A and B are shown apart, each in its own frame.
Chain A
Amino acid sequence: MNSIELLYLPFVEFGFMRRALVGAVALALAAGPLGVFLILRRMSLMGDAMAHAILPGVAVGFLTAGLSLTAMTIGGMITGVIVALLAAAVARLTPQREDASFAAFYLVSLGVGVLLISLRGSNMELLHVLFGTVLGMSDAALLLVAATSSITLLVLALIFRPLVLECMDPLFLRSESRMGPVVHVVFLLLLVMTLVAGFQVLGTLMVVGIMMLPAAAARFWAVTAIGQMALAALVGAFASFSGLLLSYYANLPASPAIILAAGIVYFLSVTFGRQGGLWQVAKQARARSLRLSRIPERN
């Protein structure tokens, strides 16, 4: 067995590894581009908040129907949308800023959600919801994730131009068309949808990681928004692959391993990235101080 085989044999030998890879990659392809937009709109925390906001709905689904995919998905969608709208309303109608109102709502949601699950489920089931079951994905869950990701990417392509305008220059879009608020709501819906599908794979606590970390890493390499989106999707897929391998060989839980892999890519990007990475900044600073120190020599 050579070293190349080490990279793919686990996926050839075990069906559950193949399913995990397909599910995680499908999720990453949609989550990365969404994460890029969250960062561009300075709403990074919002992804986190939304991920927690779906928990009470998932919990109610779980209470009424056990570990049923349909019930938990519908419940998650409902509370996700409700919390998004409520938080936006509080931010608009009171002096409270949007980030603070989202933080308040998601902390409450997390508390309610964990409480509800503990009412009936065991700690094992709570762990499933919080950290996902990437190594035990059913056909239905795989289909849900794949369908959601496809829809997300298609709709994202459809609203791409107005969404970029809404992020870059909302006032301009407002004076040119009435699409702004519609685009904003559609974007929030895509976000909730992807998070709900994603919690099947990585769990409600970890799903934000596959959304934000690749997007944050891509920012250090790509110059344009499109480049960042493509790169974020690739980084997410790569993190899924290497994270699963890591979890297989080191016998670690899979979803934290995937997030850890994405985190390593992120820290490498922060350090070596060509668009404002630490290494580049240090090099430029040194070059500048060298230039400055030469000026007196000439005189």
Chain B
Amino acid sequence: MGAGVGVMAARPDTYSPAAVIELEEVSLGWRDKVAVRDLSGCFEKGSLTAVVGPNGAGKSTLLRGIMGLVSPLAGRIRVTGESDGTPAFMPQQGGFDRSFPVSTRDFVAMGAWRRVGPWRAFSSAERQRLDEAMQAVGLGDFGRRPLSTLSGGQLQRALFARLMLHDADTYMLDEPFSAVDRATTEDLMDLVLEWNRCNKTVVVVLHDLELVRRCFPQTLLLAGQCVAWGSTDEVLTPENLHLARHLCAGDYL
């Protein structure tokens, strides 16, 4: 911790008291390929940020790095939080087994893991919270349905309900709307906005720029490195987008 304070004191310009996730010259990658180079900045408490960029820009890797699933090759990532520092994370393609014999309600209940752990029983308060989450995503009547019978959209709703049960201060979602229809996207986006109104920090990887412009105040444009990071209007300019495409294309030429 002492070293961290020293770094912050040395660089007062990047220090922000409200920062929930701070990145200092972070490089992330897999084996010999660097996916994100030299990224610095912070996600502030209660902010709503979209992470956009071409395929292979390192968006998923950044989220995994913040979650601690990938160790940074260089630099440091600091995650702070009030109750429990770890953000709630929804990976892109959940590696989960859709055919697993479990009811939808039990699947969603997994989200309470941080409070119930491997052995504690579900208290009545916990059950109520579970019911509320199922209602909120519109799966109130689906509790007893086996997971394998859910459609793609319903499954995504179940994943959102599971995420809500984390009750975390920070949410990280990796392309949560890539496989769902318009109506489901609208419903789930309303939920994200609702979390943000409750002063939760939300980071979402997205491809739908129209949705980003409409709903997200902050945007981080990635292309193997930070192209622009700030308010959405200033970031999503034609020049920046062109530069991002160019940077990522260069990687493969």
A contacts, CB < 8 Å to B: 40, 158-159, 161-162, 164-165, 167-172, 174-177, 179, 219, 222-225, 227-228
Contacts and interface: CB of A to CB of B under 8 A. Distances in A.
A78 B86 CA distance: 39
B155 interface: no
Contacts of B94: 169, 171-172
Interface string B43-83: 00000000000000000000000010100000000000000
Contact of B146 (A179, A219, A223): A223
A222 B117 CA distance: 26
Given A169-B94, A169-B95, A170-B95, A222 B101 contact: yes
Contacts of A167: 97, 100
Contacts of B103: 223-224
B179 interface: no
A278 B188 CA distance: 39
Contact of A168 (B91, B100, B117): B100
Given A167-B97, A167-B100, A172 B118 contact: no
25 contacts: A40-B97, A159-B118, A161-B118, A165-B110, A167-B100, A168-B100, A168-B107, A169-B97, A169-B110, A170-B95, A172-B96, A172-B110, A175-B67, A175-B69, A175-B86, A176-B86, A176-B113, A177-B113, A219-B101, A223-B146, A224-B101, A224-B102, A224-B103, A224-B106, A225-B101
Contacts of A171: 91, 94-96
Given A179-B118, A223-B146, A224-B102, A168 B96 contact: yes
A109 to B, nearest CB: 29
B127 interface: no
Given A162-B118, A171-B91, A175-B86, 11 more contacts: A159-B118, A161-B118, A164-B102, A168-B97, A168-B100, A168-B102, A175-B69, A175-B89, A224-B103, A224-B106, A228-B101
A173 to B, nearest CB: 8
A245 B117 CA distance: 45
A171 to B, nearest CB: 4
A170 to B, nearest CB: 6
A268 B194 CA distance: 52
A223 B101 contact: yes
B119 interface: yes
Contacts of B197: none
Contacts, number: 58
B114 interface: yes
Interface of B: 67, 69, 86, 89, 91, 94-97, 100-103, 106-107, 110, 113-114, 117-119, 146
Nearest to B67: A175
A227 B117 CA distance: 22
Which of B103, B113, B117 has the most chain A CB within a 10 Å cutoff?
B113
B11 to A, nearest CB: 30
A260 B69 CA distance: 47
A228 B146 CA distance: 14
Contacts of B146: 223
Nearest to B144: A223
Contacts of B102: 164, 168, 224-225
A172 B86 CA distance: 13
A176 B101 contact: no
Contacts of A172: 94, 96, 110
A176 B116 CA distance: 12
Nearest to A40: B100
A169 B113 contact: no
Nearest to A218: B101
A40 B94 CA distance: 17
Contacts of A175: 67, 69, 86, 89, 91
Given A175-B89, A176-B113, A179-B118, A169 B96 contact: yes
Contacts of B119: 158, 161
A164 B109 CA distance: 12
A224 B104 CA distance: 11
Contacts of B96: 168-169, 171-172
A37 to B, nearest CB: 11
Nearest to B116: A161
Nearest to A174: B69
Nearest to A219: B101
Nearest to A157: B119
Which of A162, A174, A176 has the most chain B CB within a 10 Å cutoff?
A176
A219 B100 CA distance: 11
A224 B94 CA distance: 21
A167 B95 CA distance: 10
Contacts of B97: 40, 167-169
Nearest to A175: B89
Nearest to A225: B101
A175 B110 CA distance: 12
Contacts of B101: 40, 219, 222-225, 227-228
Nearest to A163: B118
B242 to A, nearest CB: 35
